[in-house]
Amino acid sequence: MRSKRPIIRQCKNLAKQHVDNPDEPAAPDGASGFAEWTQIAFILLHAELDKDFRET
């Protein structure tokens, strides 16, 4: 089984390139969810792994 770290890192970097605030923490204090780049990275990873969201 190969490590998924390179794929995760690639998804994270790609997502950060396409948001207005790439330096926002993944889960900001006082927020009710995750940063925009985190959500995009998760969706990219979901598509790359071809698994359902629960497995991703």
- Model-level pTM? 0.81
| Predicted confidence (pLDDT) per residue in 32-47, tens digit | 789 999 999 999 999 9
Give residue 1's pLDDT: 65
Whether the Cβ atoms of residue 36 and residue 24 lie closer than 8 Å to each other? yes
Residues of the chain with pLDDT under 50: none
Give the per-residue pLDDT at 51.
85
Angle (CA) 40 47 28, round 5°:
25
Measured CA to CA, the distance from residue 29 to residue 40 in angstroms comes to 19
